[in-house]
Amino acid sequence: MTSRIFDGRGVAKAIREHVRQEVAKLRVQADTTPSLVSIIVGDDPASALYAKTKENSCRAAGINHTLYRLPADANEDKVLEALARFNEDRRVHGIIVQFPLPHHIPERRVRCGISPLKDVDGIHPENLGLLMMGAPRFVPCTPLGIWMLLQQSHIEVQGRHAVILGRSNVVGRPLAALLLQKDCHSNATVTVCHTGTRNIEYYASQADILVAAMGQPKIVQASWVKPRAIVIDVGIHQLADGTLCGDVDFDQVSTVASLVTPVPGGVGPMTVAMLLQNTLDAARLSLTR
């Protein structure tokens, strides 16, 4: 059996086009153009590449994008001062801080420094709390992208067993909360595995929907996967030969799974598309305040 490939790029393209149309309507109907500010501290090449991808995607959708750079030796106060300024600027609807930050800046303080009404990356404790309560405002972009990919691909989630490998605050935990929502597009039974999980292969092999977010290249093998399971690969790694791979051994797993996301071209494009959607939603929200 050879699995089908999730078309993350195709679904993301359709979402981006929908956002572009809605942005154009908002500009005409409310004289408002959604605006996103990306804050980068330091000169990490991966952060710079992601910022460029966001800038190009925003431009194509008609969203204003500003890249605000701070030097690597900027202290916590400088970052919080910048956040406070953009929080107060009514022309700015969304704020995203590029992580990881330099080691001397505490990420928790920065997350809390973003206005929860402009937190389009869904990382503020208030937004994470609303998600846990079943009343989400802004959901972190990667979990939201996974959820939308399942929905747009007509994958039945309700009543199925989803196993998430990884408990990070930006993927594993919020995705678990999202899949547990009591609605027709979620309502799954969710197991979250992590570094303290014994016999993780066993839990993975019980999944109808398996999400790999472990940060280890090709760790998920075919023996981990239930026949005809749906496999979603969140990881992305560059190998010594320059090629990219995910947390899933794609060649092996694609002989067992019914659907599997490629790397690149699976979850990544969905993450960017959800950032655009969240920025549009933040602009709409600003009109109610």
Contacts of 7 (CB under 8 A, 6+ apart): 153
Q: Map 26-68 to HEC letters.
A: HHHHHCCCCEEEEEEECCCHHHHHHHHHHHHHHHHHCCEEEEE
Residue 181 is among the residues annotated as catalytic for this protein: no
CA distances from 276 to 64, 102, 204, 214 (A): 11, 26, 32, 26
Q: Are 174 and 157 in contact (CB under 8 A)?
A: no
Residue 54 is among the residues annotated as catalytic for this protein: yes
Catalytic, out of 7, 118, 119, 121: 121
Bridge partners of 65? 36
Catalytic, out of 98, 218, 247, 249: 98
| CA of residue 87 relative to chain centroid, distance | 22
Residue 98 is among the residues annotated as catalytic for this protein: yes
Q: Which residues are catalytic?
A: 54, 98, 121
